[in-house]
Amino acid sequence: MTLQFSSRAQRIEPFYVMEVAKAAQELARSVAATRDPMIFLNIGEPDFTAPPLVLEAAERALRAGQTQYTNALGLEALREAISGWYAQRFGVDVPARRIVVTAGASAALQLACLALIDRGDEILMPDPSYPCNRHFVSAAEGTAVLIPTTAEERFQLSADKVQAAWGAKTRGVLLASPSNPTGTSIAPDELRRIVDVVRARGGLTLIDEIYLGLSYEEQFGHTALALGEDVISINSFSKYFNMTGWRLGWMVVPDAMVPVVERMAQNLFICASTISQHAALACFAPSSIAEYERRRAEFKARRDYFIPELNRLGLSVPVMPDGAFYAWADCSAAAERLGVDGSWDFAYELMHRAHLAITPGHDFGSADTARHVRFSTANSMAQLQEAVARLQRLIG
Ligand SMILES: Cc1ncc(COP(=O)(O)O)c(C=O)c1O
C-alpha cells in the first residue's frame, strides 16, 4: 500500500540538529575507546538533571497515585507557583488564571499557532531562529517569513524591519529571546518598539522566552510580559529548570484566549504529564532555586571561558551571548584553513578529525547559515577545555 501523506506533513523539513546528533552518537561508539572520545557540543539541553527535591516530589506523586489526568490548564498550585516566580524574579504581576501549563514549550507553541493562525497568515521571524518554530507556523497552515538579521541587531528582528516587512497577510511576529542558536536577546528598547509596531497594526506578538531563566546580563533578563497583556509568552521547565525529558512548559496568554486554549488543549493533549506537574512544584522551593542559580552561574562561567577561546581560534562570535548556552560562530576562516567550504563540511570535518560534535547553521534559516555553526556549552568545563585543545590542534 502506498501511503499518501498530507502536504502539511511534507512541508516539515527534518530537524537536522537531531540527524547530526544521531550521526555523532554512532561515531561516538566507534571512538569511545580511543584517546579522543567524542565531545558533544551539539546538545541543546542542560547537562544537569532535576535537583533532589524535584525527584523526591515525583516519587511521592507516583507512590501516592497522583497519576490521573489534571485539568487541561494544569494544576492550580503549579499555575500559582509560576505566577509567584514571575513576581519574585521578574517583578511582574502575571495572574495564575492567564497561565496555561503544557507538554513543554513545544506544545505551547503548537497550541498558540493553532489558536491564532489561519491558512495563509504570515508570521515574521528572525533568520537565524529555532527551526521548529517555523514548522509550528507551517503546521497551522501559516507561512513563516524569515527576515535576515545582522550582528548589529544581535541577530534579532528590529522594529524597522518588522515595519518594512509588514504586508497585507502579516498576522504577527514570533520572537525568541534569548535566541537559539545565538544566545542573544532583543535589546529591551528595541523589543518595546517592535511591540508598538505590531500593536499599531493589530497584530500578534508571540515570544519564546524558554531561555529567559538562563540570562547572564542584568540589562537583558526581563520578560516581555511587562509590556502588556497582549504579549503572549512561551516558557518551559526544560532549560533553566533542567527538566527536558519531563515534557513540561507553559504559556501566558491574554484573558480572552484562555478558554480557547483550554478547549484546544482538552482535545489535543488532555493535559500535561501529571507526575511532572507535581514534581515541578518543588522547582520553586528555596533550595531548588538556590541550586538552579548555582547552575546558572556555572553556565555563565562556561560562556566566559569558551567564547573568548572561540574568538581567539578564529571562530568569530560577533555578539557575546547574554543567555542560554549557545554560541553562533562564523566558521568561514576556520573552514578555509581546513580546506573545506561551508558550515556543513566544517562540522563534518570537526566530527571526524577532532571527534567534536557541533551543529551546522543549516537548520536555523537560510540567510547566513552556510557560514555559521552553533556550539553548545551545555557540557562540563573540563570537556570545554578539551574541546579547545582539540580545536587548537586542528585549526590553531
Ligand atoms: C527556542 C526553543 N523553543 C522551544 C524549544 C522546545 O522546548 P521544550 O522542551 O520545552 O518543548 C526549544 C528546545 O530546544 C528551543 O530551543
**Selection from 83, 51, 40, 100 nearest residue 252 by Cα:** 100
Of all protein residues, the one whose alpha carbon is nearest to atom 16 of ligand 1 is 180
Which phi-psi region, left, alpha or beta, contains residue 180 (left: φ > 0; alpha: ψ -120 to 50)?
beta
- Where is average pLDDT lowest: 29-38, 54-63, 209-218? 29-38
pLDDT for 289 equals: 97
pLDDT for 396 equals: 85
227, 257, 285 - which closes a domain: 285
Average pLDDT over every residue of 183-205: 98
The whole-angstrom distance between residue 389's C-alpha and the CA centroid of its chain comes to 28
Cis before 308 (ω within 30): no
**Selection from 229, 296, 242, 231 nearest residue 89 by Cα:** 296
From 42, 106, 211, the mutation candidate for ligand 1 (largest count of ligand atoms within 8 A of CB) is: 106
Q: 248 C-alpha vs ligand 1 centroid, how far in Å?
A: 11
Assigned domain for 357 exists: yes
The set of residues, in sequence order, having a beta carbon less than 8 Å from that of 372 and lying 6+ positions away, is: 128, 181, 328, 329, 330, 331, 343, 361, 364
pLDDT for 250 equals: 98
Domain with residue 279: its CATH number is 3.40.640.10
Q: Could you report the per-residue pLDDT of 216-264, keeping only the tens digit for each?
A: 999 999 999 999 999 999 999 999 999 999 999 999 999 999 999 999 9
| pLDDT at 77 > cutoff 90 | yes
- Where is average pLDDT lowest: 157-161, 312-316, 368-372? 368-372
Residues 202 and 277 in one domain: yes
Neighbours of 4 (CB within 10 A): 6
Domain with residue 45: its CATH number is 3.90.1150.10
| pLDDT at 19 > cutoff 80 | no
Residues 165 and 195 in one domain: yes
Question: Which residues surround ligand 1 with Cβ inside 6 Å?
Answer: 44, 104-106, 130, 176, 180, 208, 210, 236, 238, 244, 249
From 180, 209, 211, 250, the mutation candidate for ligand 1 (largest count of ligand atoms within 8 A of CB) is: 180
Q: 43 C-alpha vs ligand 1 centroid, how far in Å?
A: 12
Q: In what order do the strands lie in the sheet with 359-360?
A: 326-330, 372-376, 359-360
- What span, in angstroms and rounded, lies between the C-alpha atoms of 153 and 296? 25
The closest-lying atom of ligand 1 relative to the alpha carbon of residue 236 is 10
| pLDDT at 7 > cutoff 90 | no
The closest-lying atom of ligand 1 relative to the alpha carbon of residue 103 is 11
- What span, in angstroms and rounded, lies between the C-alpha atoms of 140 and 249? 20
Half-sphere exposure (Cβ direction) of 324: Cα atoms closer than 13 Å: 27
The closest-lying atom of ligand 1 relative to the alpha carbon of residue 130 is 1
Q: What is the pTM of this model?
A: 0.95
The closest-lying atom of ligand 1 relative to the alpha carbon of residue 244 is 9
Give the structural domain span for 330. 12-49+288-395
269, 285, 301 - which closes a domain: 285
Mean pLDDT of the chain: 96
Assigned domain for 252 exists: yes
221, 254, 285 - which closes a domain: 285
| pLDDT at 34 > cutoff 90 | no
Q: Give the count of domains, the chain.
A: 2
Residues 130 and 228 in one domain: yes
Residues 311 and 193 in one domain: no
What percent of the chain has a predicted confidence (pLDDT) above 70? 100
| pLDDT at 14 > cutoff 80 | no
Q: 210 C-alpha vs ligand 1 centroid, how far in Å?
A: 7
Average pLDDT over every residue of 20-31: 88
Q: 294 C-alpha vs ligand 1 centroid, how far in Å?
A: 22
Residues 266 and 295 in one domain: no
- What span, in angstroms and rounded, lies between the C-alpha atoms of 328 and 306? 12
